[in-house]
Chains A and B, each alone.
Chain A
Amino acid sequence: MANVLWLQGGACSGNTMSFLNAEEPTVVELITDFGLNILWHPTTGLQIGDQVQDLLKDILAGKVQMDILVYEGSLIQGPNNTGTMNYFADRPMMDWIKELSEVAGYVVAIGDCATWGGIPAVPPNPSESTGLQFHKKNKGGFLGADYVSKGGLPVINIPGCPAHPDWITQILVAISVGRIGDVQIDDYHRPKTFFTDFVQTGCTNVVNFAQKVDGGFGRRGGCLFYEVGCRGPMTRASCNNILWNRQSSKTRANHPCLGCTEPGFPHHDLKKGSVMKTMKYMGTFPKEVPEGRTKLAYYMEAGFQKIMPSNKTVQETSK
């Protein structure tokens, strides 16, 4: 049994939509079988207006216990650190979050906006958005580097744009069944159980990557790393192990990984030539190479593979 309050700041509701796709458990099962009690949620909450304000006040006064505070969306601080670009329940959202984080058992940031600011925080960051405990790659964010919740943990970050429903539900289940002690987090506060392997692990084009055979849009087979900016080798997430919508993943659908579980997303801040394109030196060498490799070693190996006449595209047939 755990009481959950879910709030949205500078959000698109994408993480909520992703959460509603959950299976094993579904959102309904999470509530009926795992005893999750959702105190309020902006999409499904039944209370409105003063009823919500009263609930928030009761939580702050200790009359209602809030075991988990889930936050989706960026923390909007604009203009000039007033937070008035995002009013919620008649106050700046940031004022509510400051106070609620002090009484929360655990704080879970869901999606890139809540974890490190996400797209709203891309320069010029018009809404002065930041994440709960990180701003982009830097620790701190809204609550500060030293923040820990009453449960003794810093903000648990479940990044992704959006986060996969399993990443969300499994962490909520871990808290509600008393397994939170087993959840280990990495330097970016991501649960290691989901964010240790790379997106490339399990990609159906991994042979083409190894043999340096290029792919492209509207084609079957070939690796998307060289031309259309796939970040699968540099992005930690389980997208190709725990499939999306139980069916597929970006790279399996010939869609370059955008690197959305890493704090740099959108990488290179959308500058010219960086969207759906591989940034290169001298038109040839990828500026970024797979994690854990030196550029020189990678270029030598790639060059060698490129001239191997036996390297042919591994592809599926149309029928």
Chain B
Amino acid sequence: MSVKELNISPVGRVEGDLDVKVYIDNGKVTRAHTQAAMFRGFEKIMAGKDPQSGLVVTPRICGICGGSHLYCASSALDTAWGTKLTPNALLLRAIGQASETLQSIPRWFYAIFATDLANKKYADKPLYKEVVKRWSAYVGETFQIGLTASGLPVQIYALFGGQWPHSSYMVPGGVMCAPTLKDITRAHAILAQFKNDWLEPVWLGCSIERYMEIKTWDDMLAWVEENESQRNSDLGLLIRAGIEFGLDKFGQGVGKFLATGTYLHKDMYNNPTIEGRNDALISSSGFFDGENYHVFDHMKISEHVKHSWYDNQKDGLHPWDEPLPTPMKSQTLHETDFDNQYSWAKSPRYDGHAAEAGPLARAIMNANPANKDHQIQDPLFGDIIKKLGPSVFTRVLARVHEAPRIYTFIEKWLSEIDLDGEFYVKPVEKDGKGFGATEAARGALAHWIEIENGVIKNYQVMAPTTWNVGPQDGNDNPGPIETALLGTEIEDPSDPVEVGIVARSFDSCLVCTVHAHDAHSGVELSRFKL
């Protein structure tokens, strides 16, 4: 039997420019290469500029994760300058981050992921008709409801940040806004609208409280069959169709997971430090190697460039230490030699390992028995990962599982804002190094800054897509999406929807990746000038 090469350019619906080359043997993928096909060089633009440039520039790296970049950019400056953060400031930042993520759940599910299940590939499945009726692009019954409702959570973001996307309302020392009672009540009302329009009637088919009683995979299966309302909800259909269509049988990935964690507790991060961050998180950080949990340490992160279009750089350096990566000549997918450089993305590694970032990584950290009282303690995905293992299905389920919890978080945090309290403490600007991180909707996001002589000397961004879509590392070990594609059955090489489904289950945002990687160059340029 012959080995076929299949070039897919563009993959699409992955937010940016992702090209994939897969080798198919006997209908199965035996080798896969992901190519990030665009370079902008944002961090290079920031070198030598105002230290607060990240507040304006980094949200524009990725319009989908703009609030998450802002959360990181302000945090990185907080640790560099040693600011004070009031409980109100921490609450309003967390509400912004949570609103953006809540928006992304229906928007990603309907616009990016679920339309693939309406592909003709699944036409002979019993649930296909129902899937098409609900989730076909633009005309599907719940596609319309879900996509429209996705605009509601970011209305809350706009109340405190002025607009979404692309606000810069989180600043070192707190937030710009000082909301009044009517902003808080309005936010509560919008949140309730989101619940009434979509979350409970369309998505869950039950109350948020009932859904949150689910603790194991067996509970989840029992919940689906409990009544018609839950069985016929969009989540009920996703679970039934997901298993019927075999989404649990492919797209496994590397089986190692990384989360930088998010939502800094209002009373536990009033004096921001890098060391104090892990314990102040509500959604915990960590590295899960497939069996054991490890405490997250940003110093264990390094980047590889052997297969990236950058010259003059050693593999395995921490972001603070990376030398000037000189952009090299790139090639089209057809012309690329995959034994050498083949992507604008670099390959981040944690303690030397490729690791998957994203909602599944977060859900696994939330099941860590070592989580503290103020941290999320949810055993569900500890159980699911044991029983089902990682797959397209578990990845998607982890993403949508977050919606009810985020809803309850925003409601709680809104009620904790002290309208007569402080929102901002003006910081003293100084030189130094900083680190800020969060969980964007699609996974671990981190910024590193170095300020010298009152300007940015070094700014590094590592996005979730960098973790997931990166090429092979210095030892030729493939990245998470490359690994996840292995073994995938391609039914029709002229419509390789399976490759798209795997890529989209990671919700890659290539624009983030491209950024994350490049911008080291300008930074180092300024070092040479010293």
A272 near B49 with CB under 8 A, answer: yes
Is the CB–CB distance between B521 and A48 below 8 Å? no
Residues of A within 8 A of B168 (CB): 255, 258, 276
Measured in the bound complex, the distance between the Cα atoms of B36 and A85 in whole Å is 10
Question: Which of B56, B143, B154, B169 is most buried by chain A, counting CB atoms within 10 A of its CB?
Answer: B56
Complex interface: stretch among A39-47, A147-155, A185-193, A296-304: A39-47
Chain A at the B interface: SS class: loop
> Is B151 within 8 A of A12, CB to CB?
no
Q: How far is the CB of A52 from chain B (nearest CB, A)?
A: 6
Contact B169 A253 (CB under 8 A): yes
A245 B180 Cβ-Cβ under 8 A = no
Pairwise interchain contact B180-A20, C-beta atoms closer than 8 A: no
Q: Report whether A44 and B53 are in contact in the complex, using a CB–CB cutoff of 8 Å.
A: no
Contact A162 B334 (CB under 8 A): no
CB of B50 within 8 A of chain A?
yes
**Given A13-B16, A255-B161, is A28 in contact with B166 using a C-beta cutoff of 8 Å?**
no
Closest to A248 in B: B158
Q: What is the bound-complex CA distance between A33 and B214, given in angstroms?
A: 41
Taking a contact as CB atoms under 8 Å apart, the answer to whether B64 and A13 are in contact is yes
| Shortest beta-carbon distance from A256 to chain B in Å | 8
Query: A40 CB to closest chain B CB, in angstroms?
Result: 8
Closest to B454 in A: A272
Residue of B nearest to A53 (CB): B9
Kindly report which residue of chain A lies nearest to residue B420, judged by CB atoms: A318
Tell me the complex Cα distance, A75–B218, Å: 52
- A59 part of interface (Cβ distance < 8 Å): no
Q: Is the CB of A272 within 8 A of B64?
A: no
- Interfacial chain B residues near A44, Cβ < 8 Å: 13, 111-112, 115, 137-138
Which A residues between 213 and 238 are near B, CB-CB below 8 angstroms? Answer: 216-220
In the complex formed, the residue of B with least CB distance to A85 is: B39
Interface assignment of B11: CB less than 8 Å from any CB of chain A: yes
A28 to B139 Cα, complex, angstroms:
8
Q: Contact flags (1/0) for A7-50 with B, using CB distance below 8 Å?
A: 01111111111101111001110011000000010111111111
| Interface flag for B255 (CB, 8 Å) | no
Q: Is B467 an interface residue (CB 8 A)?
A: no
Among B19, B51, B60, contact of A12 (Cβ-Cβ < 8 Å): B60
CA distance A271 to B163 in the complex (A): 25
Binary CB contact string for chain A from 256 to 299 against chain B (1 if under 8 A, 0 otherwise): 10101000001001111111100000000000000000000000
The residue in chain B whose Cβ has the minimal distance to the Cβ of A244 is B163
Distance between Cα atoms of A222 and B300 in the complex (Å)? 46
Contact of B159 among A47, A251, A253, A271 (CB under 8 A): A253
Structural contact, A18 and B165, CB atoms closer than 8 A: yes
> Shortest CB–CB separation between residue A63 and chain B, in angstroms?
19
Contact B162 A270 (CB under 8 A): no
The verdict on A310 contacting chain B, using a C-beta distance below 8 Å, is no
Number of contacting residues on A, CB 8 A? 91
Contacts of A250 in B (CB 8 A): 162-163, 167
Bound-state CA distance A70–B419 (Å) is 44
Inside 8 A of A205's CB, which chain B residues have their CB? none
Q: How far is the CA of A274 from the CA of B454 in the complex (A)?
A: 12
Across the interface, do A89 and B57 meet the contact criterion of CB distance under 8 Å?
A: no
- CB–CB B45/A120 < 8 A: yes
- Whether B10 contacts A49 by the Cβ 8 Å rule is yes
- Kindly state the separation between the CA atoms of A127 and B50 in the bound complex, as whole angstroms: 21
A33 to chain B, nearest CB (A): 11
From the candidates B44, B154, B511, name the one contacting A126 in the complex (CB within 8 A). B44
Determine whether B363 belongs to the interface, using a CB cutoff of 8 Å to chain A. no
A92-129 contact mask (Cβ, 8 Å, vs B): 1 or 0: 00000000000000000000000000111011111101
Q: Is the CB of B60 within 8 A of A161?
A: yes
Query: What residue in chain B is nearest A84 (Cβ atoms)?
Result: B330
Q: What are the residues of chain A within 8 A of B165 when measuring CB–CB?
A: 14, 17-18, 162
Q: In the assembled complex, how far is the CB of residue A172 from the closest CB belonging to chain B, in whole angstroms?
A: 15
A253, B158: Cβ atoms under 8 Å? yes
**Mask for B147-186, Cβ within 8 A of A = 1, else 0?**
1101100110111111111111101011111101100001
Identify which of A87, A122, A246 contacts B38 (C-beta below 8 A).
A87
Contacts known (A45-B13, A85-B39, A87-B19); A270 close to B163, Cβ less than 8 A: no
Is B46 interfacial (CB-CB < 8 Å)? yes
**Bound CA span A49–B329, Å:** 23
Please judge, given known A-B contacts A13-B509, A120-B45, A217-B176, whether A319 and B181 are in contact too, CB under 8 Å.
yes
Residues of B within 8 A of A244 (CB): 158, 162-164
Which of B7, B40, B44, B332 is the one whose CB lies under 8 Å from A91?
Answer: B332
CB distance from A266 to the nearest CB of B (A): 6
CB of B271 within 8 A of chain A? no
Contact between B41 and A218 (Cβ–Cβ < 8 Å)? no
Given known contacts A12-B62, A79-B329, what 18 new A-B pairs fall within 8 Å (CB)?
A12-B511, A13-B16, A16-B63, A17-B165, A20-B150, A21-B151, A26-B148, A28-B144, A40-B12, A84-B330, A87-B37, A90-B9, A161-B60, A217-B171, A255-B162, A276-B171, A319-B180, A319-B181
Q: Can you give 7 A-B contacts (C-beta < 8 A)?
A: A12-B60, A26-B144, A44-B115, A84-B329, A127-B40, A216-B426, A316-B180
Please name the 8 residue pairs, one residue from A and one from B, whose CB atoms are nearest each other, closest first: A14-B63, A218-B424, A126-B41, A244-B163, A253-B162, A250-B162, A218-B423, A245-B158
A residues in contact (CB < 8 Å) with B = 8-18, 20-23, 26-28, 31-32, 40, 42-53, 74, 76, 78-79, 84-91, 118-120, 122-127, 129, 161-162, 216-220, 239, 244-256, 258, 260, 266, 269-276, 316-319
